[in-house]
Amino acid sequence: MNNILRVFTTIFFDVSDLNVSLLLSVLQLIGLWRIFQKCGVKGWWAFVPVGRCYQLARCAGREAEAPAYCLTQLVSIIFSVYLLFVNITDVEDNSTKLLIISVILISLAIAFVIYQVRVILGLIEVFGVKKRWAFLWMINETAWLPALIWGFGKQYQPGWQVQDIKAEMERLATHGSATAMDEGLTINLKDRTVREFFQKKTLLRDIHMAIPQGHMVLLLGGSGAGKTTYLNAINGYEKANAEVLLNNTNMYTEYKKMQYEVGFVPQSEMMRGKDTVLNTLLDASKLRLPMDVSPSQRRKRVDEVMEIFGLLPVKNNLVEKLSGGQKKRLSISMEFLSNPSLFILDEPDSGLDGVMARELFTQLRKIADTGKIVIVITHTPDRVIDLFDDVIVLAKDSARTGRLAFYGSIEEARKFFGREKMEEIVKSVNRKEEGGDGLADEFVMKYAEVQYGC
């Protein structure tokens, strides 16, 4: 009976010691119930183990951390319940098991505390109170006090409610669309969603643009803004609720036909070090070129690509012997074999110095000048910004959804954001806790007004 009561208090009241007053734990849950109601969440979530952590993170504007916050508590509960019911009679025989479990529990406790601190600080920011309240929240014996005071005190009101995020999301929604181009890339993305924990999560929403042929486009956005998700939606790797047209052909419905029209170069280089440059490209040609292309035609195309990217002098060299810049050019050459109309590159200059990066982007500029569309992610854009035509800026709005904050020329971007450097533009739309200015919503709405009159 004692074990059962311990399990009950561990799960429902977040305490494992029966000496801690159950009354204080009940008072804390009652306070959370009122806080949830104030924040626009159903009050009964306060009495749901693990679930209340998720809802508290939502109230604190820390929904991104909510899954990990809940997971650390859930696993901690499982291990705690295991220890309560396991009767370890021989300490020596079970010393290894005890050590492993202890290390796991300590690690989980540290992770849980880190996430709890972030959530509590977020809640403090939402309620607009002093940070010293965090000390009361962090101690089990005193957490009931701020919970009750904030929950029932009329002067303690949240700056916004969870529903406000949804309302803000709707307010920022744009209902315009880009007109399909006969020659170019047209993107009309309504949303890209996934199912996560207790609800559906929107990763991207309302992204509409038309990119003409021959344009080299920079893709900007802070961590979590949805850059990779956006690129995967364009090339059809992760389909979204969208219409993506390349030269007026639907990328989704005609995927098999269009697979050779898109080249995607990931950040990581997937090449065998013991192969020569020539053999690497010949093997890649079997995948990147249609089946009906003859061996002689494949070899001719390989030679053309090696000449374009300056790899002919090292065609018989092993990949592992190449310089960093040569490996990048080889990685790009593998995707360029099919002569794609759309060329997407994720940080192709990663690990390269300024001179080598400049040389690489100059080559990409030449590719765009042949009528190709080149879209590039780079974390050091300002050193090569003069080579780009346009810039796409993605940003997380109040609902943590990736939104289009800007698409246009480089000079238009500078005027729109009031900043000269691209890195400063990224900083302006990043959240404050990420070291940014927290102006994502402002610029998303401003761009919507300029484009669609929303």
pLDDT for res 407? 95
More confident residue, 243 or 100: 243
Instruction: Examine the pLDDT at 219 and tell me if it is beyond 90.
Output: yes
What are 27's two structure tokens? 């008072």
Phi and psi (nearest 5°) for 244?
-120, 115
Among 339, 341, 338, 363, smallest CA distance to 352 is for 363
Give the whole-number percent of the chain exceeding pLDDT 70.
Answer: 87
CA separation for the pair 56, 150 (Å, rounded):
13
pLDDT for res 13? 44
Least confident of 265-274, 283-292, 335-344: 265-274
Instruction: Examine the pLDDT at 128 and tell me if it is beyond 70.
Output: yes
Instruction: Examine the pLDDT at 61 and tell me if it is beyond 90.
Output: no
Instruction: Examine the pLDDT at 205 and tell me if it is beyond 50.
Output: yes
Overall average pLDDT of the 294-315 stretch: 89
Q: What is the mean pLDDT of the chain?
A: 82
Overall average pLDDT of the 28-32 stretch: 89
Q: How far apart are the two ends of the chain, measured CA to CA in Å?
A: 63
| Exposure on the CB side of residue 372, measured as CA atoms within 13 A | 21
- In this structure, the strands spanning 249-250 and 241-246 are antiparallel
Tell me the H-state helices in 60-127.
66-85, 95-127
Overall average pLDDT of the 25-35 stretch: 89
Instruction: Examine the pLDDT at 176 and tell me if it is beyond 90.
Output: no
- The three-state (H, E, C) secondary structure of 299-346, written as one string: HHHHHHHHHHCCCHHHCCCEHHHCCHHHHHHHHHHHHHCCCCCEEEEE
Locate tokens 């090569």: which residue? 384
What residues does each domain of the chain span? 2-158, 168-452
pLDDT for res 25? 82
pLDDT for res 426? 92
pLDDT for res 3? 46
pLDDT for res 210? 93
Least confident of 123-132, 170-179, 243-252, 290-299: 170-179
DSSP 34: H
Q: Where are the beta strands (DSSP E) in 232-288?
A: 241-246, 249-250, 262-265
pLDDT in tens, 286-304: 888 888 888 899 899 999 9
Overall average pLDDT of the 46-54 stretch: 86
Do the beta carbons of residue 200 and residue 206 sit within 8 Å? no
pLDDT for res 19? 52
The CATH number of 168-452, from 3.40.50.620, 2.30.40.10, 3.20.20.370, 3.40.50.300, is: 3.40.50.300
